[in-house]
């Protein structure tokens, strides 16, 4: 068992702080609760709130109000994105072509 770096309590599953690297118990895990040396980076992070959305691109965007979100069915696909159905169909075609080549070349199954 590990001891909390702040209060000294033993904990089976310690939390590692992303800002200072210390090991802490569940009560002391947040930077304001253990006098974190990296509290400045903790304060700079945006907090999720009503009307905020963590988007797919990694940024935080405000989503309140009219017209901020795309309508259903109008979501654009990222450039270079290949749907899984097309990949699956391509794999099946390649397998069938391979089997047809084996039969044509005289290979006997069984």
- Average pLDDT of every residue of the chain: 78
Task: Determine, yes or no, domain membership for 24.
Answer: yes
Strands (E), the chain: 2-3, 10-11, 15-16, 23-24, 52-54, 60-62
- The pLDDT of residue 55 is above 80: no
* For residue 91, pLDDT beyond 60: yes
**Number of structural domains the chain divides into:** 1
- Confirm if 25 and 9 have CB atoms less than 8 A apart: yes
Q: Does a structural domain hold residue 87?
A: no
Does any domain span residue 18?
yes
Q: Is 103 a member of any domain?
A: no
Task: Report yes or no on 30 lying in a domain.
Answer: yes
pLDDT of 58 > 60? The answer is no
5-45: per-residue pLDDT in tens?
999 999 898 989 988 989 999 999 988 888 888 888 878 87
Select from 87, 83, 106 the least CA-distant residue to 95. Answer: 87
């Amino acid at each position: 068992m590990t001891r909390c770096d702040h209060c000294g309590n033993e904990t089976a599953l310690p939390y590692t702080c992303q800002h200072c690297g210390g090991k802490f118990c569940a009560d002391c895990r947040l930077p304001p609760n253990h006098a974190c040396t990296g509290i400045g980076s903790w304060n700079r992070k945006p907090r999720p709130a009503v009307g905020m959305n963590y988007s797919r691109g990694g940024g935080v965007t405000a989503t309140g109000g009219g017209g901020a979100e795309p309508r259903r069915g109008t979501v654009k696909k990222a450039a270079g994105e290949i749907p899984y159905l097309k990949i699956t169909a391509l794999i099946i075609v390649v397998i069938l072509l391979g089997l047809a080549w084996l039969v044509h070349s005289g290979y006997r199954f069984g």
